[in-house]
Chains A and B, each alone.
Chain A
Amino acid sequence: MTDTRSTHTPPIQARPTQARAAQAQTLAVEVTAIEKVTPLIKHFTLSAVDGGELPAFSGGSHIIVVLRGATRVYRNPYSLLSSPRELDSYQIGVRRMEESRGGSHFLHDHVTVGSRLEIAHPVNLFALAKTARKQVLIAGGVGITPFLAQLEDLHGGAVPYELHYSVRSPEHAAFLPRLRAREGDRVRMYYDSESHAIDFDGLLANQPLGTHVYVCGPAGLINRVLTTAKRWGWPDSHVHSEQFAAPPTGDAFEVFLARANLKVHVPPYQSLLESIEAAGVEVPYLCRGGVCGFCQTTVLDVDGELDHNDHFLSEAEKSRGKSIMPCVSRAHCKSLVLDL
C-alpha cells in the first residue's frame, strides 16, 4: 500500500543550507514513496531533490534525518535499509514509538510524498567484519533495517550467513516478502505470538571459529545475545550490537554553557543536545543515539546527579561525572555547567 496523498501541504520545507559548522552540511531529499509495511512501521523512500545519485554507503549505515517542525527541530537517526548498490534513493523504516518525543510521530503523521527533508551523510557504526568466516545476524522488530542493507553486501559472496528475525506476530514481520524472495531459507522467523523464541544457547554454542554475530533490536534481545555470547566464550571483537537509544524524557533542568556564557532551559521532552542546539550553540555529533562518543562534553559542575543513558562511556567514567553525552543523557539537578 503506497501512500501517494498529495492533498495537504507538507508542513515542512527544506531550508537553505546554512553556512554553519561542517557537520551541519546536509543533503536535500524529497520523499518519493511511503508504504505502511506493518501496523507500526512505515517505509520511506528518499530521493535527491536535484534528481542525482545519493552518496554511496556500506550496509549498516544510518543517516540523521532533520525534521523541521512548527516549534522545534528533530534530528533522528535511521538505518538505511536500501541496497548500497542502488543510489537513486535511500530507504528507511520508521517505527511509530509509543513514547515518541515527536520524531517518529512527526514522520508518521506529517510527512507525505513530496515532503522535503534534510539528511546528513551516511555514517556506519554497525559495519560487517570483512574478516569474518561466517556471519550470523539477529534482528528484533524494526531492528531488521540495518540487516536489509547488509544482506545486499553479503548476497552472492563467499562467506556463509544466516538471519534470525524475531517479531511479535506475522503481521509485524516487516519486509518479510522481500527477504523470503531474496534469501529463502537463510531467513529463520520467530513469532512471539506462537511462543516461538530464538534458542540463544543453541545458536551461539555451535558456531564455527571465525563467526561474527550481530544483533539489532530491543534492549532485551541485545542483552540476551551479549550475555549468552559471553557465557559461551565469544570474544568481544566477534559480537556486534547496535541500539540507538532514543533520548529519554525526564525532569526539566537548567544548563549553563560556560564558554558561550549562556543559560539554557532543558524541558522534559527535549534532549540536552536539542536544547543546546535550539539556543544556537553547535555541538559536534554523529549518531545522536549514545553510541559514537562524538558529542562527549566536559562537565564543569553539577549540583545533583548526572543521568547517563549512553553506551559509550565506561561505568568508571560515568561515576566520575566529568563527561556527558548530551544526545541522550540528562541530569537530575537545578544547574549543570558544561564546557561549551
Chain B
Amino acid sequence: MNAVVKPLAFKPNETFRDDFTFRNSEAAIRRFPLPFPNDEYMYSVNIEPHLPGPPGSVFEHAFDVDEHYVAECRERATVLAAEPLRFQALPHMQSAEWDCLELIMNSLARDYPAHFSLGKRGNHWHWINRPLDIDQHFVFGDLASLPYPPLEYITRQTQGDFVVMDQRDGDLWIQAGMVTTPADWSLDFDMGMTFKEWHGPVPLAHEMNVFDRALKYLLNLRLGHPVRRLNWTMTIHPRLDTSPENYPSWGPERTTVTPRNAGDLVHLRVELQGLWRLPRSNAVVFSIRTYFISIRELATIPKWARRVHRVAKNLHPTLVDYKGLSRYRDALVEWLAPFDDGTPTTPGTAPE
C-alpha cells in the first residue's frame, strides 16, 4: 500500500497568524474529519478504538501527517520562542517522555517511510526527519544526547498538542505536555490537575456523568489498544494558538464576523484526540491534533454545508456559549442558509 502513496507535498510557507495564508487543498478538504455524524449535536462518550482507518483518511495512521506539517512545526517553534512554558514536564515523568518519543518515532518511521526513518542498534538510535531536515544520532534514555528534553524534542516535530498524565490514586494527573495549539486552555494553568479538575469548565457533561465514565475507561486503558475521539469548536481565522495567555490578540476578533464575511473568517476547528497507555511509565498520553476548515471550504461539500447549517442553528444554548460562538453564531447560520434547501443528509460524515 505504501508503494503507491506519493510523498506529501508540503506547504511550508503558510501561516496561522498575522496574514493567515493557511488554506486546504481540495484533497485536504475531502479528508477533513467532520465531527457531526447527523444533523444534531450533543455530547457523548464517543470513544472508539484507534485502529487504522481507510487509506487516505486522517485515521489511517497513529499520527496523521498532512500537507500542513512543516508550517505547523514552524508555528510551534514560534510560540515556544516567545513562551517557553508551553512545554513542561515534571521530573518524575522522564520515563513517560521517552515512552512518547519512542511511540511517535516508531509510528512516523513505519507509516511515512518516505519522510522519516529510525535506525536502532541497541540504545543507539538514528532519527531522520527529511521534511524538517533533521539527522540526529542519540542514545535512548540519555538526556544529554538530545538538544531538548525527549518529549519536547519529538513534539517539536509533530503536529498537534500532547498532554501526559500520570496514573495514581485512581486518577489521572497532568504532569507534562506540549501545548501550543490550544482551543482556549492553558497547560501552565492546568499542570498538576486531576482529570476532573482539568475538565471542570466543561458544561453539561459533568451532570451527564460523562467524566466519571471517561475516567473509569481511561484508567483501564490497555497497552497496544489506543483509543480516539473527535471534539470540535470554531475559531476566527485559522489561528492555531488560541491560548488564554493571548486572549487579547484573538478574543476581540469574534466581534468582527458579519453575514457577509462569515464564510471566510469562521473556521470549524476539529480535534482528533488520541489516548495511549505508555509501556515503561504506565502513564497515559493524550494527543490533540487540530484540523481547520473555513466555512467557505466546507461549503464546497453540499452535504456538509446543509449539516453544519443545521447543527449551528439548533445547537444547545449552553454549548453555544461554552464554545465561544455567541457573538457570531447567527451570522454563521445566515451565511450557510442559502446552501440548505432542506434536502435530507445521508447518514455518516462522508462527503457523498
Using CB atoms and an 8 Å cutoff, list the residues of chain A in contact with chain B.
22-23, 25, 55-58, 60-61, 84, 121-124, 127, 129-131, 237, 286, 292-294
Contact = CB atoms under 8 A, between A and B. Distances in A.
Contacts of A131: 92, 166, 168
B224 A55 contact: yes
A123 B167 contact: no
A332 to B, nearest CB: 29
B222 A123 contact: yes
Contact of A58 (B169, B225, B279): B279
A58 B220 CA distance: 15
B214 interface: no
Contacts of B93: 130
B168 A293 contact: no
A152 to B, nearest CB: 11
A22 B223 CA distance: 12
A304 to B, nearest CB: 29
B280 A25 contact: no
B17 interface: no
5 contacts: A55-B224, A56-B99, A129-B168, A130-B92, A286-B222
Given A130-B168, A293-B216, A57 B222 contact: no
Nearest to A124: B282
A226 to B, nearest CB: 16
Interface residues of B, number: 18
Contacts of A55: 223-224, 279
Contact of B280 (A58, A123, A237, A286): A58
Nearest to B102: A56
B167 A121 contact: no
A58 B281 contact: yes
Given A130-B166, A130-B168, A131-B168, A294 B220 contact: yes
A127 B279 CA distance: 12
A55 B106 CA distance: 13
Contacts of A237: 168-169
Nearest to A128: B282
Contact of A57 (B220, B225, B280): B280
B223 A57 contact: yes
B241 to A, nearest CB: 30
Contacts, number: 51
Interface string B213-229: 00010001011110000
Contacts of A56: 99, 279-280
The 9 closest A-B pairs by CB, nearest first: A56-B279, A130-B92, A58-B282, A237-B169, A121-B224, A127-B282, A121-B223, A124-B282, A129-B168
Contacts of B166: 130-131
A189 B71 CA distance: 60
Interface in B157-173: 166-169
Interface of B: 49, 92-93, 99, 166-169, 216, 220, 222-225, 279-282
Nearest to B99: A56
Contacts of B225: 22-23, 25, 121
Nearest to A236: B169
A131 B166 CA distance: 10
A294 B280 CA distance: 22
A23 B49 CA distance: 11
Nearest to B49: A22
B51 to A, nearest CB: 8
A126 to B, nearest CB: 10
A211 to B, nearest CB: 15
A79 to B, nearest CB: 14
Most A C-beta atoms less than 10 A away, residue of B49, B167, B280: B280
A294 B217 CA distance: 9
Contacts of B281: 58, 130
Contacts of B224: 25, 55, 121
Contacts of A294: 220
A22 B49 CA distance: 9
A84 B92 CA distance: 17
A248 to B, nearest CB: 24
Nearest to A287: B220
B282 to A, nearest CB: 4
Nearest to B221: A123
A127 B220 contact: no
Contacts of B223: 55, 57, 121-123
A61 B281 CA distance: 11
A38 B282 CA distance: 31
Contact of B167 (A22, A57, A122, A127): A127
A123 B223 CA distance: 7
A169 to B, nearest CB: 35
Contacts of B168: 127, 129-131, 237
Contacts of A84: 280
Contacts of A25: 224-225
Contacts of A129: 168
Nearest to B51: A22
A32 to B, nearest CB: 21
Given A22-B225, A25-B225, A293-B216, 13 more contacts: A23-B225, A25-B224, A56-B99, A58-B279, A61-B282, A121-B224, A122-B223, A124-B282, A127-B282, A130-B168, A131-B166, A237-B169, A293-B220
A63 to B, nearest CB: 10
A122 B221 CA distance: 11
A84 B224 CA distance: 16
B220 A292 contact: yes
Nearest to B225: A22
A84 B220 CA distance: 20
Contacts of B216: 293
